Amino acid sequence: MTYQHKIDALKKQIQNIRQNKNILSEVEIVYVTKYATLQQMQELWGCGAQVFAESKQQNLEDKAAFFHDKNIVWHFIGHLQTNKVRKVVQVVHCVQSVDSWRLLEKIDVEAGKLNKKIQILLQLKNLDEKDKFGFLETEIRNNLTKFFEFENVEVTGLMMMAPHTDNEKIIRNCFRAGYKLYQDIRKEYAGFTILSMGMSADYEIAVEEGANMIRIGSKILKD
């Protein structure tokens, strides 16, 4: 099956979920290209894919340089070390994986040096995920106004990953909690418009539970 067929099938599946669940919001697909070759990425771009996501600074730089003449929107989705921020900020439109105050402050400083506004998503983690990076729900709720005080950063939403489990109920409850937090913040901040949940293994549950952005790699790229 060609990439075009896979993309069309994915979009059709998302449309069916939205119709069945009476979901009005569109769902944006971010194509995770961290394991993709340049040829694969060219094929994806030829199929209309325009938003690509990388998780390592060097790969992001190399691929962005190769595709400099293409109308591609770059997202960063991996754990970002503060010493890599300057180079990442030069390339990306959005950092989805902002997981600490220190990182947020560094992005703001480096974006300011470039006279550039960077969109960021706050990475949400569950209370029992002590080994994961990210903010706890209580941290976000208790410091909400502070997130929106930065000059060169636009906090536009939440990003979260489901726990590593095959238990659909746990995954669904996790996404449901993320959607609740997203909705609560959106009532206060009109620019808070993105809920990035769901990857190739669990995007269907994520869309059912309110995600309006999903991160898809292997579902399209793997044979």
Inter-residue contact 57 to 88 (CB < 8 Å): yes
Tell me the β-bridge partners of 90.
Answer: none
The three-point CA angle 102-108-112 to 5° equals: 150
Mean pLDDT, the chain, as a whole number?
96
| CATH for 132 | 3.20.20.10
Of 131 and 140, the structure prediction assigns the larger pLDDT to 140
- pLDDT value of residue 126: 80
- pLDDT value of residue 223: 76
- pLDDT value of residue 192: 98
**Domain extent at residue 74:** 3-221
Least confident of 155-159, 161-165, 210-214: 161-165
pLDDT tens digits for range 34-90: 999 999 999 999 999 999 999 999 999 999 999 999 999 999 999 999 999 999 999
Number of separate domains in the chain: 1
